[in-house]
Amino acid sequence: MDASTKTVFDAALALPAVERAALAEQLLASLSPDDGLDEEELAAELERRASELERDPSGGIAWEQLKAER
């Protein structure tokens, strides 16, 4: 972590918990692709994928493999 990032991080840690949570949510959202799905559509898609994986586990990718591909 470079000095300016550390400064921002330390400032964020000084915030009240509610504000840190809001900041974390915004930071995470900035990393997510805009797939055009609203929350209900996203939940349905995640459920569909989970069901598909339960039916055929061979179609899944191990977390370690997925991380290594990034």
The parent domain of residue 12 ranges over: 3-69
| 23-51 pLDDT, tens digit each | 998 998 788 776 777 889 889 999 999 99
Give me the pLDDT at residue 14, please: 97
Closest CA to 18 of 8, 6, 26, 10: 26
Give me the pLDDT at residue 37, please: 79
Radius of gyration of the chain measured on its C-alpha atoms:
18
| DSSP assignment of the chain | --HHHHHHHHHHHTS-HHHHHHHHHHHHHHHS------HHHHHHHHHHHHHHHHH-GGG---HHHHHHH-
| 5-29 pLDDT, tens digit each | 999 999 999 999 999 999 998 998 7
Query: With a threshold of 0.75, does the pTM exceed it?
Result: no
* Mean pLDDT of all residues in 1-7: 92
Structural domain count of the chain: 1
